Amino acid sequence: MNKKYLAYSLSLLALASCGKKEDEQKKNAAPPPTPVTLVAAHTTEAVYYDEYPATVVALNTVELRSQATGFVTGVYFKEGDVVPKGKLLYEIDQRQYQAAYQQALADLRSVQANAANAEVNAGRYQRLAQQDAVARQLVDNANTAAATARAQVAAAQASVNIARNNLGFSRVTAPFTGRIGISEVRLGSQVGAGTTLLNTISSEDPMGVDIVVTQTDIERFIALQNAKTSRADSTLRLVLPGGVTYPQPGRIRTIDRGVNSQTGTITVRVEFANPKRELKDGMSAVVKVLNTQSGQRLVVPFKAIVEQMGENFVYVATDSSTAQQRKVTLGPRLKDQIVLMNGVKDGDKVVTEGVQKLRDGGKITTEVPKAPPAAPGK
């Protein structure tokens, strides 16, 4: 009985020993190659833009305010129309200004008549003095009266000019050709000189588009401002609300005089032709500026990028069918592709599928693993 028990125990120990060896062999065995998909990195023409939020602004905008006080007696335009320079827009009650002008003219004529008479008297006394027929004091008095009359004429002429200007201020005209807005006053409205806003008029062709850039970009935009542009130039493009690209090219018109010390930014104004009046003052848009690094660049599929601890990597297949991890610097994304500035050469095969299971130096295969055979009866 003891012999049987001993033999049984020895057999159990042998089986356990074999099991441990099999486990150790499985543990030490290399993991199977990871199935992956490889795509060759290639060089292509990469054209990409930097985008800046923008606001469309009229290059010339004026608030129309009356310089005369009174009631509106005439409105001579259609709201929203383009009005030519010099067109009569509003008329303020002219009666008091017309009367003041006529009064100033009458005063001028009166002092002119007095001045003419004083000049005649001064001349007469001057001739008599030459004959010693009159006292010198009378000659001096006559000359003084003539000079006073001339001064009164000048003052009266100034009053006429003021009255004429006031009369002219009662007629508000367009200072330049532009589109006029909705009127702030109606017929019969009372307006005050210099205080009441009548309307706003703004130019429409060309239009400005303002963007804000960092101070590190100043030299770049100065170079763009000095560069010669053509109608077909694509360096500056405008994207309208809704994603439609505006067909007209832009050019740098103005770079602001100084940098905002709080934000470290500066305003740049881009000019666009607006022949069809599509651009409106205050419209939001996006200005696309051609990136200086556009050109022949190396690209790979974006899904090949692996981010770890704020750094970017790709896995590149080697001749020994292993995946080597390489650190890369990313350029701009072009739809489903991305530009690599370094880390990969043209023709290198990068892993695009299976990157989540890879490690540096891991084995890879491009073969699709076979499905296990179906169990009998299923």
Which letter, b or e, does each residue of 61-82 get, where b requires 16 or more Cβ atoms within 10 Å of its Cβ?
eeebbbebbbebeebebeeeeb
Helix (H, G, I), strand (E, B) or coil at 66: coil
The yes-or-no verdict on residue 378 having pLDDT over 50 is no
pLDDT at 227 over 90: no
Contact 199, 65 (CB under 8 A): no
Whether 165 and 94 have beta carbons less than 8 Å apart is answered as no
Whole-Å CA distances, 104 to 145, 151, 163, 206, 374: 22, 15, 7, 45, 115
pLDDT band at 140 (very low <50, low <70, confident <90, very high): confident
22 pLDDT above the threshold of 60: no
Average pLDDT over residues 147-163: 88
pLDDT at 15 exceeding the cut of 60: no
Quickly list DSSP for 213-276. EEGGGHHHHHHHHHS---TT--SEEEE-TTSPBPSS-EEEEEE-SS-BTTTTEEEEEEEE--TT
Each residue's pLDDT tens digit, 246-275: 999 888 999 999 999 999 999 999 999 999
Higher pLDDT, 319 or 26: 319
pLDDT of residue 372: 52
Kindly tell me if the per-residue pLDDT of 207 is higher than 90. yes
Q: At what angle do helices 136-169 and 95-130 cross, to 10 degrees?
A: 160
| Residue 28 scores a pLDDT above 60 | no
Average pLDDT of the chain to the nearest whole number: 82
Could you give the C-alpha distances from 212 to 67, 122, 172, 270, 287, in angstroms and in order? 37, 72, 36, 11, 10
CB 183 within 8 A of CB 72: no
**Cβ–Cβ under 8 Å, residues 289 and 235:** yes
Range with top average pLDDT, 29-33, 121-125, 361-365:
361-365
Q: With a cut of 70, say whether residue 229 has pLDDT above it.
A: no
Burial label, 244 (beta-carbon count in 10 A; 0-12, 13-18, 19+): exposed
Q: What local confidence, expressed as pLDDT, does residue 200 receive?
A: 93
Give the single-character DSSP code of 195: T
